[in-house]
Each structure stands twice: as structure tokens, then as C-alpha cells.
Structure 1
Amino acid sequence: MGGYPCPPRNLSDEIAAQLLINYVTARMILRGLRKSASEEVLRDGAVLVTGAGSVVARLLLHLLAKEGLAPIGLSRSKASATRGMAELNGAQIAASEDEDWQAQVTSLACGKKIVGVLDCVSGSLVREYASLLSDDAAIVTYGALGGTSLGIGAPEIVGRQLIIRGVVFTRWFSELSREDQAEDIRSAFDLASEMPSLFKTGGVFGLAEVQEAIAAVEAPNRDGFIFFRP
């Protein structure tokens, strides 16, 4: 990897295996957000992050807060929300299993307009949070855990001038200069040393333990990536 920084010697295999794809994905999502909303709008508003129990969403919540913005997480379960708030030093996270989660999100925004959503869920959830957004808000979507459609129709998108932007990890290779790629890698290594808890492991299985690994992946409230080790 000529020209790219070398990984630190103390980087574990489990963190190394998930670090770059998750960190680079998070950075690309934030770049997509800034293509869709001005810095002034972002500074004055709040940003909703769905799927807040996932590694990428935790990274987004951390990076947004570090940049001085106002992120609000949305997890599926209360357990995941509580865990995320503890791991991210008081991050604001609501749980969609609560009937009043929309009111909770509005309260966590503290009077700020929700001007952006970083969404890995899609499906019907988009319709459920759309009413919370300001006009001209940006929905940056990078996954479809809840279904392949966006859950809202053209009349609402057009009438409220919502911005819909898709983000995919692979654009990192073609859109960024080698210098910017190297900076992303360097930043990823720094963050792994600073906050290894952001890159959690949910279990490590041998190749003969396929069924156990599948069960671990499908377990509710899974806390971290599942790995195979030869």
C-alpha cells in the first residue's frame, strides 16, 4: 500500500478486519451529507442517525459530535439505545420500540430543526420520521435493513423539497484523491487507538461453527461484528 500509512502494531485482528470499511463508509456518508446541506444549515440544526446500534451509526454519532454538530440516534430497542449512550459518553439516542419515539426525538433536538437523516434502515421508517424533518432536509441513505423502498412518495418529496442522496462505500476509490484516502486511513487508525470500543466484536467462530455464527448474527441486540477465524 505504497503511500498509505501502516497500521499500528497493537491493532487487533478483529478491529483491523472491520476498521477501514466501517470508518470509510462513515466518512463517505458525512461527505454525502455535506453535498446535500450547507455547513450553516447543519450547524443550526440537528441530524438524525438511524440504526444507532450498528458500528457505522456509532461512528457517525461520534464523528458528528466531534465536529460540533447535534446528532440524535435512533435504535430499534431500549437496550441498544442505553448501551449506545453509555459507550458514546452521553450521546442522545431514542428507541423506536417506544410508542412515543417521535416525541422523544423532537425533545432531544432541543428546539433545533432536524435538517438531515443518515439512514441505513429505509422502508416504512422513512415515512415515520419524515414528519419530524424540516422542509429542504436531506435524507442520506446507505442501507435497506427495513425494506427496499423509501416509504414516502413523490408528492411529499417534491412538496417539501426533500433531498434524497444515496451513498456507497465503493465511490471512495474513484472520488477521493490518494492523499485524501491516506488521510482517511490515518484518521481511522487514530480513532481505533483512541476509542477501540467503537469497533466491537460480537463473537469469533471457527470454520466448523457455521450454525453458531449464523445464530450469533441473527441474535437480537447483537453487540458487534461476528468473525470467522481459521
Structure 2
Amino acid sequence: MSSDQKEAASVRVFNAIEHAEYGNPTSVLRLVERPMSEVEPGPHDALVRVSKRPIHPGDLLMIAGDKRGGRATPIPAGAPRTPGFEGVGVIEKLGSNAAHQGQFAVGQRVMFLSGTGRTWATYSKVPVATLVAVPDEVSDAVAAQFLINTMTAQVVLHAGHNALPVPELPVTVIQTAAGSSVMRIVTAFGQKIGLTMIRLVRTKEGAALLEASLPGAPVIATETSEWKEQVRSAIGSSPVHVIFDAVGGAMVDDLVSFLSDGGTFVNFGWLSKGASDLSEFAPRGLAFKGVVFTKWMNFSLEEQKQHRDTAIQLAKEAPHVFAIAGEYPLADFRKAIDHASGPRKSGMVLLTS
């Protein structure tokens, strides 16, 4: 072996999915090898060997440069972007300060958020402050999708509670995209606190799957011609002060008639590309409130801990709430994206390594 070959063999690399431009995810993304020096942890960081990470709808919108996924910042030449903001894995190395603190240890299983992205890779450099220890009872598949989805669910519920005219009222809530990962968690939390949930999904097949996997509240398929009559029947004489919405578009117009005057749409996603006619909102005193999971950071540390403890308990007791639609190795990311983008999936699609 030549000296050049020996030097090349000694350079450790890791796999990463990246893109140098915005566009169709299956076209602009590439699986590449990167040097391990890029993820060398700083004093307050940890190097995590990532085992699983989710494909969120927002991830795909961001890769596409779609404004529904947030503002697309320019990608500098020669510095391609690796997607992904959360995952689960094992600590391989701790920065000097992090090691001295003794809060985490090499070999420990953790779930984490990465504010700079880069979780769609076999290794990720992560601020230790974002690490959360994974209980033995919680699988990697659940932990991988845990943080963003449970944060979003808590923000949605908090916004809905604040929109109620009187918090003690019996509360009936309509949910769109009820089979989505976030809405499944909203349902589970909502049922625990006594909300009456009316859940909407697109297809009859999706309704049957959701009723079987997460029973306890009516599920209505909007592909049926009589779906609005079914919603009115489920509502009965109860007022609907809040709608939890992840669809947007024309669905907003379809649901306005169910909302009580002065009621609030709490929206955290825009799966539809259509526009909404909001002409009824002002005359009826309706409000449209957009929320994002990062608002969870505005809660007090005590509230954050309480939310996290409640969510971890849910993951232990009811892991079926965190449904898995499929798992794919990083090399099969195009198949994974096609699955995640499909209309009939139930649960989260994960990339594994």
C-alpha cells in the first residue's frame, strides 16, 4: 500500500444526505461521504452516532424551498446543507466541558434537537443542552420522532386553551389531518384532559386505520359526500370554539360553518396549496392563529419539564400513539421520501443507519 493509500485509509468519514440547491427533494439530495473532522464536538457539544431520524413534512418543504416550510436562506457555494432537526442515537464523544459536567456519558442513548440541522447523517455534532436521555422503555423509533412532534402538540393545545372564552366549558374540538403524527399526540393528550375530539382525515381507508390504532373519538373521512353532515351530527348542540388545523387552503372555508362566533382556528401546517377565503372571519369575530413548535421554548423551564415528563410517560404507556409508517436506510432516502410524501401513509417515516 502506498503512502497516499495509507493516508486515505486513515481518514474517517461518515455518510450524509445533502443538497446544494433548493428543489424537488428526490432530485436535489445526494448521499455523500464527509470527513469526521466536520463533526468534531466543541467544548459544549456531543458527537452522536445517529440511529434513526424522522422525515417531517416541514423537512421536505424546506428542501424544496417552499415558503410553507419557512424562509429558505441561501446555501453558500461549497457548503451544502444537510437536512433534519431531530433524531436518536448514542453518544460517542463529549466535549471537554460537557464531559466534566457528568450529566451525560459516552455510550448513553439520547434523543436530541439540532438547531443547525444535519441529522440526516450517520453522525451529528449536537449541543449537550439539547440532549434528552431516552428511557429504556422507549424504543429508538419512538424517540426519533418524539421532540418536535410533542412540542408542537403542546403548543397547539396551549393555543387552543387560551382561545376558550371560559376554560371550564365542556370543550368540543375539530381536528384536521387527524392521522398525522402531531395530531395523534394531540388526540392522546386531549383525551387525557377530557376534550371531545372530532377527527377528520382524507380517506375512508385512513379513517379505518386511525379508529383501529387510536380509538375513542369519531373519525370522519372528507372524501365522502356527506362528511359535513357527519360532523354536524357529531357536534350535536355543543359549541365549537377551537379547530386544530394542519391542512389550510380550502379546508378552512369548509370548516368555518362549524366554528362558533368568536372561535379560533389554530393552524400549524399548510398541507394544501390552495388559498382560503377568510371573508367570514371579521364579521363573525373569528381568529386565525398560526403556531410553530419553537414557541414551546417560550414556556417556563418548569412547564417545559412538565410537558416533557408527560410526553415521556405517554411514550412509555402508549407507544402506538407514535405510529411508524416505514423505516428506510439512508441509501434508500428517495424511497423514504416518496413514502413520506404519499397520501395514504399512517405515521412517521424514518431514515435509519
Does TM, normalized by the shorter one, top 0.5? Answer: yes
- Where does residue 103 of structure 1 map in the other structure? 229
Q: Alpha-carbon deviation of 1:147?
A: 2.6
Q: Equivalents in 1 of 2:177, 2:215: separation in Å?
A: 18
Which residue is 1:23 aligned to?
Answer: 150
Structure 1 counterpart of 2:277:
152
Per-residue deviation, 1:43: 2.9
1:192-229 alpha-carbon deviations (Å, 9 max, x no partner): 01110011111111122122212221333102211111
- Note the aligned Cα RMSD (angstroms): 1.9
Which of the numbers 120, 123, 126 marks the counterpart of 2:252? 126
State the Cα distance separating 1:5 from its structure 2 match. Answer: 7.0
Instruction: Find the aligned partners of 1:37 and 1:102 in 2 and give their Cα distance.
Output: 23
Matches within 5 A, 1:145-224: 145-147=271-273, 149=275, 151-153=276-278, 155-173=279-297, 175-224=298-347
Q: Does 1:229 align with 2:352?
A: yes
Bigger CA radius of gyration: 2
In the TM superposition, what is the alpha-carbon distance from 1:39 to its structure 2 partner?
4.0
**TM-score, normalised via structure 1 length:** 0.91
Structure 1: give runs of 5+ residues left out of the alignment: none
Map of 1:86 onto structure 2: 212
In the alignment of these two chains, the number of paired residues is 226
Higher strand share: 2
- Corresponding letter in the other structure for 2:269: G
Name 2:140's counterpart in structure 1: 13
CA contact (8 A) 1:5 1:186 kept: no
Secondary structure in 2 matching 1:136: coil
1:46 CA drift (Å)? 1.4
| Unmatched runs of 5 consecutive residues or more in structure 2 | 1-127
**Greater RCO (Cα-Cα under 8 Å, separation 6 or more):** 1
* Distance in 1 between residues matched to 2:133 and 2:352, nearest whole Å: 23
Secondary structure at the residue paired with 2:169? helix
Post-superposition CA distance 1:94-133 (Å, at most 9, x none): 1110111111111111321222100000000000111122
Mapped to 1, the partners of 2:230 and 2:338 lie a distance apart of 32
Q: TM-score, normalised by structure 2?
A: 0.60
Residue pair 1:138, 1:164 contacting (<8 A) in 2 also: yes
Q: Would you tell me which structure has more helix in proportion to its own residues?
A: 1
